[in-house]
Chains A and B, each alone.
Chain A
Amino acid sequence: MKSRGLFFFAMLLMAFATNVIYAQNTQIRFTGTVTNNNGEVLTDATVVFEPVRSPHSKPSGQPINAANSIGYAVNLPDTSLYRITVSRIGYKNSIKITERGRKEQKIDFILQNNAEINEVVVTAAQTSTKHESIVRSAMEHLQPTSIADLTELLPGGFAKDPNMGAANTIAMRETGAMNAYGQSAANNNYSTSALGTLFVVDGAPISTDANMQYSPLSSTQSTTTGTSAEDSRNTTNRGVDMRSISTDDIENVEVVQGIPSAEYGNLTSGMVLIKKIRRATPVIVRLKADGYSKLFGVGKGIDLSKRNTHYNSHILNIDLGWMDSKVDPTNNLENYKRITASARYTRQKDRNKFQSAIDYTGTFDKSKTDPNLNYGRIDDYQSNYSRLMLTNNLHLNKLAGWSFDLNTSASIQFDRLKQTRLVAPQRYGIVPVGYDEGEQEAHAVFGEYVASYLCDGKPFSASISTKAKRTITRNDNNYIMFGTQWDYAKNFGDGQVYDMERPLTLTGWTSRPRKYSDIPALQNFSTYAELNSEFPIKKSMFRLTAGVRLNTLPGLNSKFHMAGKFYADPRINLSFQTEEIGDIKLIVNAGFGLTTKMPTLNYLYPDKSFSNFNSLVYYDQENPAENSKFVVTTFVQDPTNYNLKPARNQKWELSLAAYRRNGGNATIKLFYEKMNDGFRYSNVYNAYSYNRYADKLMTDYDELRTLDGYTQVTNGSKIIKQGVELTLNFNRIKVIQTAINVTGAWFRTQYLNSQPMFESVSGVIDDMTISSQFVGLYDWNDGKINQRANTNVTFDTQIPKFSLIFTTSVQTVWFISTKTMWKNGTPVAYISAADGKMHEFDEQSTKNAYLQQLVKTYNADLFKTFTVPMSTLVNLKVTKSIGKNLKLSMFANKILDYLPTYTANGRIIRRSASPYFGMEANIYL
């Protein structure tokens, strides 16, 4: 696959190299910017040059597209005048005619918003057929607490009450894992989907690869996912916690769910590109309060040169933010706080740009149990996250025909997870304390103790990326791009720190303190090449983006299968834009791409697992504390999976979009994604033998054989995402000043295992623990097929006279369904402690009193689809500007609801919704 991808790419390059022909006549250099009313640069505008004989004659000859990222630049022969038509989705076309004679012509365009002057974009806009873009004005109207709230604006998204007591991970184009009742439920087995979503802030990726903030009590290295205070907040191997990203200093967010450019890698699902505000602004103060949180933000863009133009600016942006939230407004014991600070410097001169930023994010999670309700029990969890990030970006334009980008970033986190628990042995407990294999005396615990646990993580990450880009024809949209990216992740923390004699629990402690700074660093290196090309065919346009990205892990120990290997991600997008049919332009887009996510530090270097067996349990009746003796035989298992491979996602996409000349558009997208090798922890069983001593003198003994399990990360998860996304934007209806926007999606997501699974059964028969002797291997689908269809219809009413924006969003979930895959509970094989080998599970086995226990049986009704029928909620949002300096916003979610009662398995299920309110003020000083 890898070499084929490269070959394909090389062929494409050759094909287009022949097209690079420069006319060497007298040339005129045309340049210009395309901006909107607010002076914001409009990317993705179409700029078409057509030769004309005179300013008023009809164009003749071949149109030339000259757009680039900020406007256009093109050299054209001085043989005629040109008519420049600038168009962009959402804006009115603008036409200008060039002058005769001048060698350098700079003609800037300011486009008017489509329907109304001063219209504010409050919904997600489709900047192209590839991306969804959420701009500042939409954020202001939405009144988010964190970036997590913005996902409501994407097709398939809907408003949710904030959940500040759990990590908010992203789910792209999927239903998310669900419990049996169709409610979303975290499942670490399928977290690759969130882990594989890349978040990029001003060119710098947010790396979570070195995050190992967990305790051995958590589900991090488990096959099941718990719901404890820690488990719900733990983001190890789960990607970015969106709660930590404030929206206050964000200019826009682009969400790429389709085929990403080869420029971006180490991802599977897609990416979220965050662009922070980098322009002069007054002091903006944001105050927000809702039922769950209080938020304060202040920011200013300082104009350092006083003479800013788009080509020569000198700006410093400073932002501070604070947010305090409660998981439940009536509960003081669980809360989440966030502090953000950012200073961003932007220097732009002659299209060369230098950006620098220093950002701080601190989040503080706390959860306590109420001692009054809990027998005075102590169980406290506290997780602090502090991240300091330095970013430098340099863009050099037109050096020998090339433009160059150099982005560097470095971040260091100071993360501390603390847990304090009162541990009461159920009777007596013993704690194996050895770090080595063999027989050793265990520490006996006779009474209660307070255990404290610290996980000290100092994940450091650095990223250097370079990019070189060159246009290959007169049309700036025909270009080639090469680049490299090197990412480094290392954890310098003290890791898991605790008193081995006082672990957090006495039941099943198989871990030992571990220094994270001992774990090797993880390096990701990738290089890519991409070709962008467009061929006009009469008035239609054919566009091609083809690229390939090679990913590797340099410096990885050669024992790993991945060591020295390159994984190639070919990506291709083809689109065809028709000429206007009537006043409608159609764009058909088809894409295929492979995306690759390399494992995290925890996946590569998991905690060792300690298997301990009781060799001597001598309890002295007379003087138990002094004379008892407990000896365990310890085996150390290194669960590192040297055969681990990256998680790779195949993405297919087909879309059709229709744009009306004067606004209004419709897009329908079909997608199919398949990942066979998502990461998950799986059970592994080994046979061990140890001595069981009969007495304290340890002379007589029996040699016993037993099985014991640990977990190892495997590529055992399969996620298949398919669905349809729909976006409809209607023109504003003048009479009622209202525009209607419809987004919707149908998602069908399969969460499966791609490898057979070991699963032990509990129970003791005739004094023999079954799982210590026999464990079955089940070749089944331990997964689910989930579906969801929903639509949001937003009525966006804007009355400029009153500076009033009023939106009503009718959010309907048409159905949610979940179906457990049919399971054959009869194992295909079993491992036996006697010989440590696998045996076939046959007819004879079912007649054995012990082996028959391995057969799991299921109620046939378990595999029926569970469907939650439709529900509709209505959300209101109002924004009103008062004078120049004040903007007030208010929202009322779930103000109306339609939640019909339904029956499930013969029971009537009644649903209810409680409204959620909030308001905010933005003050401009």
Chain B
Amino acid sequence: MNRIFKSIESAGIATALVVALLCSCSDNEISHTQTTVSITYPADAEGLTIVSEEIKAVNLSTGQTQILPSKSKIDIVSGLYDFIYSAEVQFSSSNGTETSTVKGTLSGKAENVSITQNSCNVNIETFLSAENDDFIIEEIFFTGTLRPSGSAYFGDGYIKIFNNTDHVLYADGVGFCESKFKSTANTEYSPDIRKDTMTIQSLYFIPGSGHDHPVLPGQSLLLCDTGIDHRNANPNSFDLSTADFEWYDVSQNPSTLDIDSETVPNLDKWYCYTESFYTLHNRGFASIALVRVPIDKQTYLKDFWYSYDYTVYTAAGAFPMQQQAFKMPNKWILDGVNLSVEASRLWNVLPPSVDAGWTHCGTTDNDKTRFFKSVRRKVQYINSDGTRHLKDTNNSTDDFNADCVPSVIELQKSAIATDGTKAGKTTLDGITPAN
């Protein structure tokens, strides 16, 4: 029963031994304290191996920074300190059936620690992050809203991408794509290229020459379906006219009409499976990934088209099928999120090297409760500048809050239900309160 997701077992708490040692005091003018730093390792990290680690102590009074040579019985000058822990690690990323080893970092901080003669034990709680020096997905709002009549409204879906690093990132050339394979059907494809390739049905890129769209650490970009104020058509929707980018689909016919917002620049459309305007899979069966493609568009479009066989199983029998699609090498994927629903999920479309888990809105196929909800990445900690640091352990089950009130809805206090009930509180990640 692989369908039932096995939660990752804790690898065991890396217990930090609290060495309750006495301080030894000296007679010098500058008092030194023998300090012991203990590290609390993340409980849910599996197969964690520390490749290298470093503890920095920043003396807040003098501004001096020193790298601690060891963890225990370090002789440091008494004072007010920030202790910063960072480590390069490897850990296993597993979805229960498949496992891959992933590089990552552990980081933690103990701030404003007063090192005095009486207090010389410091504990740093650490957080695991997969190695990623580029954008990650912060939020996906794929379900859409409902009109007051109860019928579905399309066009207000969005994806938020986030700079989780400590430096400026340029979004130029970052693309997003949606998987063609669905997590609820057809687990076997031939050729089976899933381990290193994603089969996609849409591919849109942020335009730019390389340095046009800087994003500061802890900031995000909002990529939306249609960048207009949707409340004109659906009072239950919200305003996307200030979004950063929209995916606009040039349409020939009134039947496939998309609206090109004047205020929101368009993404560069490389491929989409549908001639109609494109919406994210609104029952949430497809996986979403961010990519940077190192080759030019024409080469990609010519060379990455492939055919595959699969079989559809129905009550009446099994039916051989063949389809064609574009493929995306996993090595070009910056971040990926598997989406599914509990009742219908058969597999994870993206392998554990991209995402070991999956997240959701709703629990069954066509779940009516899924509307007005998104998946949002959890806040791991708050940076010193007040920005968020999000959790990225390569496992969306752990990293995301499911069934959240979308951030834009929270911000605009727009409707969260068909009857027009408005969003109340604002949160950092759907759960953690903003203040």
Query: What residues make up the interface of A, taking CB atoms closer than 8 Å to B?
Result: 180-181, 183, 375-377, 422, 424-432, 442, 446-448, 506-509, 612-614, 617, 619, 621, 624-625, 630, 632, 706, 708, 762-767, 769, 771-772, 847-849, 852-853, 856-862, 864, 866, 904-907, 909
Contacts and interface: CB of A to CB of B under 8 A. Distances in A.
Contact of B307 (A426, A428, A857): A857
Contacts of B259: 427-428, 617, 619
B233 A907 contact: no
B255 A508 contact: yes
Contact of A422 (B151, B155, B311): B151
B305 A907 contact: no
A619 B324 contact: no
Interface string B283-320: 00000000000000110011001010111011111111
B320 A446 contact: no
Nearest to B266: A767
A425 B259 CA distance: 13
Contacts of B262: 619, 621
Contact of A619 (B147, B228, B249): B228
A858 B254 CA distance: 32
27 contacts: A375-B150, A422-B151, A424-B152, A427-B153, A427-B230, A428-B257, A446-B233, A448-B149, A506-B254, A613-B253, A614-B257, A619-B228, A619-B260, A619-B262, A621-B261, A621-B262, A624-B232, A762-B275, A763-B275, A766-B297, A857-B307, A858-B322, A859-B321, A904-B316, A904-B318, A905-B318, A907-B313
Interface centre among A860, A861, A866 (most CB of B within 10 A): A861
B154 A859 contact: no
B252 A772 contact: yes
Given A427-B233, A859-B309, A905-B318, A509 B255 contact: yes
Nearest to B301: A849
A612 B319 CA distance: 38
A859 B190 CA distance: 10
Given A424-B153, A764-B271, A862-B319, 4 more contacts: A617-B260, A764-B272, A765-B270, A765-B271
B241 interface: yes
Contact of A446 (B232, B254, B297, B322): B232
A224 B104 CA distance: 53
B273 interface: yes
Contact of A621 (B251, B263, B277, B298): B263
B269 interface: yes
A424 B322 contact: no
A428 B125 CA distance: 51
Given A375-B151, A447-B233, A852 B305 contact: yes
Contacts, number: 178
Contacts of B274: 762-764
Contacts of A426: 152-155, 277, 279
B184 to A, nearest CB: 18
Contacts of B155: 426-427
Interface of B: 146-147, 149-155, 226, 228-230, 232-233, 241, 249-263, 268-277, 279, 297-298, 301-302, 305, 307, 309-311, 313-322, 324, 368
Contacts of B226: 427
A765 B276 contact: no
A183 B316 CA distance: 9
**A-B pairs, 4 with minimum CB distance:** A861-B320, A905-B318, A904-B317, A427-B155
Given A428-B233, A847-B302, A859-B322, A766 B269 contact: yes
B273 A762 contact: yes
A446 B237 CA distance: 13
A180 B301 contact: no
A619 B255 contact: no
Contact of B255 (A424, A507, A706, A906): A507
Nearest to A510: B255
A437 to B, nearest CB: 15
A619 B261 contact: yes
A771 to B, nearest CB: 6
A852 B254 contact: no
Contacts of B250: 764, 767, 769
Contacts of A624: 228, 232-233
Nearest to B150: A375
